Amino acid sequence: MPDRGRGPDYIVCGANTLAHRLVVELTELYEVSVVAIVPNRERDHAPQITKILGRDSVIAIPTITEEVLRSADVSTARGIALVDGDDQTNIHAALRAQAINPQIRVVLRIYNQRLGKHVERLLNNCAALSRSATAAPAFVNAALRRPNSVQVGGKSVSVEIGAEGESADFLCTIADRIDKQDLTRMRLLPDAPGPAATWISGVTREPAIAIAPNASLPTSIPVSPSHLPSSLPSDPEPSSDTSPILPPGTRAVLRFLDGVRPHTPSWISRLRWRLVDLRRLLGATQLSRVFLGAFVAVLASFFTVWYLNQHFAWAIYDTLLDMAGAAQPDVFGQQSQTGGAWQRVAQVVTTFCGIMFIPAITAIMLDVIARGRAGIARQPSAGVRGHVVVFGLGNVGIRVATLIHQIGIPVVCIERDPTARGIAAVRSMELPVLTGEAPLEDQLRKARVHRCRAVLALTGDDAANLEAALEARALAPDVRVVLRLFDDDFATQVYRTFTNAASRSVSYLAAPAFAAALMGREVLGTLSVYRHVVLVAEFVADDESGLIGRRLHDIEVPGEVRVIAVRTKHAHEYQWRPDHARRLENGDKYVLLATRAGLGRHTSRVS
């Protein structure tokens, strides 16, 4: 509980899942004092926040006014996080906070990222983050079985999870001893020999020779991903467990990620989908047999005209004009302009068949135009396959659907609330959407879940997401399922029960970025290993940090912090796998791979 006599270090405004996670991050990992402002002490996650902070450190008030901020001691606080309410409410509260304390660090949740950039320039010391934009890439990667990635300079680093012994060019090991049945046994950032240069072992797959922590290697040794070993030696942990650091089994490694190629379907596939849609449209009417007979008659007439005239292009021309009723008929007693009696018969048949086709085509065109003007989303194609089904078009669902669409993969969306704003957002991208309170099983069938590559359940309700996953598995037992779940115990049970499934928590993915921004440090991104998260962050060695002259090895903490790259003040590119015996100079930037607790302790050291 903070000492209210001197005021809190930080203020968190909100009672949603992100506020709850953020309070946990700040109090347990960064070990700072926090005061929370919640709309109602008994609703949402306010009871959990009160249990963590204590009743005296929670202010319950519906509206954040200047008086409320003063009662929370905003004038002496180091930072304030506004993670609840809409964009306008958060901006107004941020302006009030900085009017009282111009030096306070403001972090606000904002959905409109373009507006967020303007707000950052407007306020003195502000970071505007989007919770959904921060978490969406992790859901996309899980659905497409792509590794999690973070952009560092001009390169992307990613997590690859697999069995030991597989060929994988990697920078370091993120986690080992992974047991899917009990994810609490996972060990993040296992111990490694001191200098990063010891990861180099030549072109063989033999274990590298461990080097003393203070040793250094010549800089002339070439470093190449193909020269990296598939396993790393290390001393055993200081415990009774004498098993090796990388026992046989599943592990997660950090490696460079190649560029992602678009997955745009070929024009042949799109043409096939349109033909299937046309067949479904005609087959859905009682006149389907009549239309089929008329089509056969027109086709026979075309071949008759073609046979008589011996000219393919003119045969098409005459047939189309006859269907539109624009053909010039022969006049009795005058010289025939056609190929004779058989061609006249063909023209009559074609004209009468056109009487049926033209109204049908006109009705279809008018229906398409009317749907577009009325804002009605189009239905998924009956021939689509290899697509992704997104269930729930909230903020996260919109972000995920947009990212997958940008990659080039077909997307089909399902939203039960016909008034949801996400429907208009995805319709602007011409994505098919199924809406209404129809049975979920029927909607999944229409979304062709049995032909899709993955189903993402992204509503804010854990139970609804689980229902969608179960229904999808009932229709397609082998489909990839990704669920948005808040409860960790619930997610663990899902991993134990489901195969080919993954779960992610939006607040769990976003909270580290919000906490780090509140501290004034920039987290480059988060990398998820199942439900666990490690962070990639960049720091600068300066006089205030107290790190000038210190070795990189001194920064590392086994199991918590590891240095993966360094860039000098005048360099344009990062030096990957730096020698950890190297000493930091003023202005050097270094990139850390850290657990949440490790990043919190490192931030406290350099602040």
Work out the mean pLDDT of the chain and round it to a whole number.
75
The whole-model pTM stands at: 0.63
Q: What angle, rounded to 10 degrees, do the helices at 288-309 and 341-374 form?
A: 130
3-state secondary structure of 175: strand
Strands (E), 506-560: 523-529, 532-540
Query: What pLDDT is stored for residue 339 in this prediction?
Result: 58
Residue type, 571: A
pLDDT at 10 over 50: yes
Which pLDDT band holds residue 197 (cuts at 50, 70, 90)?
very low
Q: Higher confidence at residue 133 or residue 169?
A: 133
pLDDT at 280: 59
Check for a shared fold between 1-129 and 388-504: yes
Note the pLDDT tens digit of each residue in 412-458. 999 888 888 888 888 888 888 888 777 888 889 888 888 898 999 99
Is it the case that residue 207 has pLDDT exceeding 60?
Answer: no
Please give the structure tokens belonging to residue 13.
């405004």
CATH for the 1-129 domain, from 3.30.300.30, 3.50.30.30, 3.40.50.720, 3.40.50.1100: 3.40.50.720
Express each pLDDT in 367-388 by its tens digit.
555 555 545 556 666 667 788 9
Q: CB-side exposure of 29: number of CA atoms within 13 Å? A: 21
- Rounded CA separation 328/337 (Å): 9
What is the predicted pLDDT for the residue at 269? Answer: 61
Does domain 388-504 correspond to CATH entry 3.40.50.720?
A: yes
Strand partners, 482: 456, 502
Write down the pLDDT at residue 117.
87
The answer to whether the CB of 537 falls within 8 A of the CB of 596 is no
pLDDT in tens, 492-525: 777 777 788 888 888 888 888 888 888 776 678 7
What tens digit of pLDDT does each residue of 271-319 get?
665 566 555 555 555 556 666 667 777 777 777 777 776 677 767 767 7
Sorted by where each begins, the domain ranges of the chain are 1-129, 147-256, 285-374, 388-504
Interatomic CA distance for residues 459 and 391, integer angstroms: 7
φ, ψ of residue 188 to 5 degrees: the values are -90, 145
User: Is it the case that residue 255 has pLDDT exceeding 90?
Assistant: no
